[in-house]
Amino acid sequence: MEYRRLGSSGMYVSEISYGNWITHGSQVEETAAIKCVRAALDCGITTLDTADVYAGTRAEKVLGRALKGVRRESYELFTKVYWPTGPGKNDRGLSRKHIMESAHASLKRLGTDHIDLYQAHRFDYETPLEETLAAFEDLVRQGKVHYIGFSEWSAEQIASALEIQKKNGWTRFVSSQPQYSALWRVIESKVIPLSEKEGIGQIVWSPMAQGVLTGKYLPGKKPPVGSRATDKKSGAGMISGWMRDEVLTAVQKLVPIAAELEITMSQLALAWALANPNVSSVIMGATKPSQVRENVKASGIKLSAQTLKNIDLALGTLPERDPAKTVSPNPRA
């Protein structure tokens, strides 16, 4: 495993992060989930990502139990706040009330006294940005949060936050957690240039495009039994946008590229995302330890300029690049 600094901060993260969206508390049993976490730690993954909303707060509890007894200083624990965690109007969003209540609830579920990176899971249009950032600053000053970041914010929203943080002398954002893959490249034109300028590193999710870039989905054929595309509880809705024959046909053109490099399609997808110097880490999920052990081998793979060009040629105009696709909903609606 190789490690990179998170943005301009002094904290290092593993190039491959372990994320438990969809899997923990939902898709796999707790015993299997714990085995995956332990496999990740054994393989050198030190960065673990979750969120209060995953599996209705159950994912944080499972992760907390999986990490019980592990030396706290040996890993970086990331979680997030924004999406609904209860039925009330204040059980969501980025108000001071919800941030403080959610942070303390996450600490309890995770069984720890601090969060290494606390992230705004989306942008809240209803709460004044200064209120949100002041609450984050208080958590940092209390020692309950070490660093702060955001997920799926537009360049304009990021710039507004940085201006407020600079004006008040508050802790600055060091991370962005966007969707990013060879098929979803909406951050490249605006978010990444701003992030490079401001010392913000990307921790990207879905680098395998919900599994499409693994090549296991074939054009004209039904998805494999038990795959994400067949399981409504594990992201079938999100992957459906890529389950078009033109996309699946293009992805099959990547198979010989991976074969020539003697790596798997999953490793190719992860290495592609890591080829971007602004990416600090890529998040992978797993339902069994063997997947963890396979995917971590992507760390350290350096794709040549020609390989990256060949991937672009294979996918053609299919990748989404429109920066306007980075949109946050209204959490109170």
Give the start-to-end residue ranges of the domains of the chain: 3-325
Q: What is the pLDDT of residue 2?
A: 98
Q: Residue 209 carries which DSSP code?
A: G
Reported as a single tens digit per residue, the pLDDT across 63-79 is 999 999 999 999 999 99
Q: What is the pLDDT of residues 257-276, one digit of tens each?
A: 999 999 999 999 999 999 99
Quote the percentage of the chain above a pLDDT of 90: 84
Q: Which residues are catalytic?
A: 54
pLDDT band of 245, cuts 50, 70, 90:
very high
Token couple for 53 = 């909303």
Residues 6+ away with beta carbon under 8 Å from 217: 211, 223, 224, 227, 229, 243, 248, 251
* Residue among 150, 187, 192, 193 nearest 172 (CA): 150
User: Could you give the dihedral angle defined by the CA atoms of residues 202, 205, 209 and 210, in that order, rounded to the nearest 10 degrees?
Assistant: 180
Rounded to a whole number of angstroms, the distance between the first and last alpha carbons of the chain is 42
Number of continuous H segments (helices) and E segments (strands) in the chain: 12, 10
Q: How far is CA 33 from CA 19, 83, 264, in A?
A: 11, 23, 23
Dihedral sign, Cα of residue 136, residue 18, residue 60, residue 328: positive
The pLDDT mean for the chain works out to 93
C-alpha radius of gyration, the chain, whole number = 19
- pLDDT by residue (tens digit) across 210-224? 899 999 989 877 766
Question: In CATH, which superfamily holds the domain spanning 3-325?
Answer: NADP-dependent oxidoreductase domain (3.20.20.100)
Q: What are phi and psi of 218, to 5 degrees?
A: -105, 140
Residues 6+ apart with CB under 8 A from 21: 49, 50, 51, 54, 59, 205, 285
For residues 226-239, average pLDDT: 60
Task: Report the 10 Å Cβ neighbour count for 96.
Answer: 15
Residue range 291-323, pLDDT digits in tens: 999 999 999 999 999 999 999 999 999 999 999
**Each residue's pLDDT tens digit, 25-84:** 555 678 888 999 999 999 999 999 999 999 889 999 999 999 999 999 999 999 999 999
